[in-house]
Amino acid sequence: MSETTEKSLNFIEQIIEEDLKNGKHDKRIHTRFPPEPNGFLHIGHAKAIYVNFMIAQKYGGKTNLRFDDTNPVKEDTKYVEAIKRDIQWLGFEWEGEPLYTSDYFGKLYAFAQDLIKKGLAYVDDQSAEEIAQQKGTPTEPGKESPHRSRSVDENLDLLERMKNGEFDEGSHVLRAKIDMAHSNMHMRDPLMYRIKKVTHHRTGDDWCIYPMYDFAHGQSDSIEEITHSLCSLEFEVHRPLYNWFIEKLEIFPSRQIEFARLNLNFTVMSKRKLLRLVEENVVDGWDDPRMPTISALRRRGYTPESIRDFAERVGLAKRNNIIDLGLLEFSIRDHLNKIAPRVMAVLRPLKVVITNYPEGKTEMLTTENNPEDESAGTRELPFGREIYIEQEDFMEDAPKKFFRLAPGKIVRLKSAYIIEYVDHKKDAVGNITEVHVKYFENSRSGQDTSGIKAKGTLHWVSAEHAQDAEVRMYDRLFNDEAPDGHKGRDFMEFLNPDSLEIITNAKVEPSLVEAKEGDRFQFQRLGYFCVDNTYSEPGKPVFNRTVTLKDAWAKMQKR
């Protein structure tokens, strides 16, 4: 037996294990993920998806995918497709076919009739304004509607006529009869149905009335016999109403449990704000790699594994939280470090001439594809008299701790030779245009007999063989930790003007020309990059920077 360090349970797992112990629901566990198809899924949803699917998986249960489509004004089939794709990409499989709240419109209508018959619901023909006014405030009780005590038959008839489209939008609603003085605002005769003469993406024009969230969600859970209905903290105050409907309708008692949603610093997460970024063309669309959406993370080069790992690491509790973006970056670096092939790419090329290397000679050098993974094998890299190195890897006046190329310095070219500075040239305005070095012939990688110790190692590409490539350097969209956390200031004020830098003349090793959409690489010493799925063309890949490498040198320079 191996020693397994027992991982402690989160509060939902504790509830579930208690239920299991008590034999509740015949020890069955069934969760659901209930998105409204009115926008794209983001990293916050990824956590909710992870929580729902992993908890069911852990206890041998099932997870439904249910589209909460009760408001046809905002919903659309195109979002249904995007949501399904994102969940599958994350690696989760829902039980059976996707479900829809709209599938239950008939049952919900019957539930409404049932409540009317029990004297627990009534049709109100006041305006939205009047109803809002009578609702009271958190500190003052509300007033009862003058229509509150209509007869069962009259209510039944009015509801029927609402359904049949005999009334205008806004003229009538169905309300639950609970308590207009209740301390919980949601219990003050909440709306159950409103008239909307709008075509629904699935039921078409079958219905003129649509149920409100509170009269749809819990009952849908119940119809599907969901045992544990997990949702975010904001629905905590809805729980008494959720339970009220279930109790009065005498239907399957699903249990709602709330947990804290994910918040990330340096970003915004609300659909409304993300939509604004898209509509005002601040970004390139919902899947712009700077967005926190699942589709953007995918395009940026994040792996499903890394997002699941992140969701695991952020934990699960009821405390409001703001997760450091650095944790997400840790998760993707950690995964990519293990799987991404290392390649040579120079973003800002500086020509280096090896003056003692034979002109016209090309030799092939062997380099490992991934030092973390022996099975990744090796490949050949062409080397010649002229190469490109990174501009920032040469300094005319270098400080002591600069372990790169500079007057008087010796460095190793990764997988190639050790070189020594000889000379450099500048243009009229003082830019360095070319560096001359000499190489040590007996220092070739793998067969180094020179005995020379080089302090630094540089990445490079052969000038003759290098290919031009476009590289998109993405950075955080906002330069403020909480862009939407400043009272009286718009989050757009905190946009990072440098969130995208497009480099069109990067030099990459020849093998990269064949890179395909979605391929991920580590550009040696620079970071992780992947082939963009939108701008790339066959033979002309465009690379997105997923994340930089950790950079101790940059950190040192800041100090």
Using DSSP, state whether 306 is helix, strand or coil.
helix
Question: Which residues have a catalytic role annotated?
Answer: 36, 261, 271
Question: Per CB under 7 A, which region of 22-30, 188-196, 462-470, 506-514 contacts RNA?
Answer: 188-196
**Judged by CB under 7 A, which of 456, 463, 467, 496 binds RNA?**
456
- The answer to the question of residue 445 lying near RNA (CB under 7 A) is yes
In degrees and rounded to multiples of 5, residue 260 shows phi and psi of: -75, 130
**Judged by CB under 7 A, which of 60, 96, 138, 451 binds RNA?**
138
Give CA–CA dist 520/339, Å, rounded. 9
Min dist CB 45 to RNA, Å, is: 11
- The answer to the question of residue 452 lying near RNA (CB under 7 A) is no
**Judged by CB under 7 A, which of 446, 451, 497, 539 binds RNA?**
446
Min dist CB 37 to RNA, Å, is: 9
- The answer to the question of residue 324 lying near RNA (CB under 7 A) is yes
- The answer to the question of residue 342 lying near RNA (CB under 7 A) is yes
CA dihedral over 364, 369, 372, 373, signed as positive or negative: negative
What token pair was written down for 385?
């008299």
Min dist CB 551 to RNA, Å, is: 5
Using DSSP, state whether 293 is helix, strand or coil.
strand
Min dist CB 191 to RNA, Å, is: 5
Question: Per CB under 7 A, which region of 83-91, 147-155, 312-320, 379-387 contacts RNA?
Answer: 312-320
Give CA–CA dist 410/287, Å, rounded. 44
**Judged by CB under 7 A, which of 25, 45, 177, 217 binds RNA?**
217
Give CA–CA dist 496/184, Å, rounded. 41
H helical segments located in 340-473: none
Give CA–CA dist 484/489, Å, rounded. 8
Question: Per CB under 7 A, which region of 56-64, 207-215, 222-230, 246-254 contacts RNA?
Answer: 207-215
By beta-carbon proximity to RNA, the closer residue of 475 and 517 is 475
Burial of residue 364 (number of CB atoms within 10 Å: 0-12, 13-18, 19+): exposed
Q: Which residues pair with 42 in a beta bridge?
A: 293
- Give the C-alpha distances (Å, rounded to integers) separating 527 from 291, 415, 497, 514: 19, 18, 21, 20
The CB density around residue 479, as the number of other CB atoms within 10 Å, is: 14
Contact (Cβ atoms closer than 8 angstroms) between residue 392 and residue 364: no
Q: Which of residues 141-180 bind RNA (CB under 7 A)?
A: 169-171, 173
**Judged by CB under 7 A, which of 89, 252, 402, 535 binds RNA?**
402
- The answer to the question of residue 333 lying near RNA (CB under 7 A) is yes
Using DSSP, state whether 427 is helix, strand or coil.
coil
Min dist CB 284 to RNA, Å, is: 26
Contact (Cβ atoms closer than 8 angstroms) between residue 507 and residue 461: yes
Min dist CB 220 to RNA, Å, is: 10
Question: Per CB under 7 A, which region of 89-97, 144-152, 181-189, 295-303 contacts RNA?
Answer: 181-189
By beta-carbon proximity to RNA, the closer residue of 356 and 370 is 370
By beta-carbon proximity to RNA, the closer residue of 28 and 414 is 414
Q: Which of residues 245-274 bind RNA (CB under 7 A)?
A: 260
In degrees and rounded to multiples of 5, residue 463 shows phi and psi of: -60, -40
**Judged by CB under 7 A, which of 74, 107, 201, 438 binds RNA?**
74
By beta-carbon proximity to RNA, the closer residue of 81 and 236 is 236
Min dist CB 538 to RNA, Å, is: 28
Q: Which string of DSSP letters, residue by residue, matches 349-378?
A: EEEEEETTSPTT-EEEEEEES-TT-GGG-E
- The answer to the question of residue 110 lying near RNA (CB under 7 A) is no
By beta-carbon proximity to RNA, the closer residue of 165 and 315 is 315
By beta-carbon proximity to RNA, the closer residue of 287 and 309 is 309
By beta-carbon proximity to RNA, the closer residue of 302 and 500 is 302
Number of residues that make up the chain: 559
Q: Which of residues 35-64 bind RNA (CB under 7 A)?
A: 36
**Judged by CB under 7 A, which of 20, 180, 191, 463 binds RNA?**
191
Strands 456-458 and 410-413: parallel
Q: Which of residues 497-526 bind RNA (CB under 7 A)?
A: 522, 524-525
Contact (Cβ atoms closer than 8 angstroms) between residue 501 and residue 341: no
**Judged by CB under 7 A, which of 25, 163, 228, 404 binds RNA?**
404
Min dist CB 478 to RNA, Å, is: 16
Q: Which string of DSSP letters, residue by residue, matches 442-469?
A: GG-TTS--S----SEEE--EETTT-EEE
Chain centroid offset of residue 259 CA:
18
Contact (Cβ atoms closer than 8 angstroms) between residue 190 and residue 176: yes
- The answer to the question of residue 236 lying near RNA (CB under 7 A) is yes
- The answer to the question of residue 375 lying near RNA (CB under 7 A) is no
Give CA–CA dist 557/552, Å, rounded. 9
What token pair was written down for 409?
């310095």
Strands 228-232 and 255-259: parallel
- The answer to the question of residue 315 lying near RNA (CB under 7 A) is yes
Min dist CB 317 to RNA, Å, is: 4
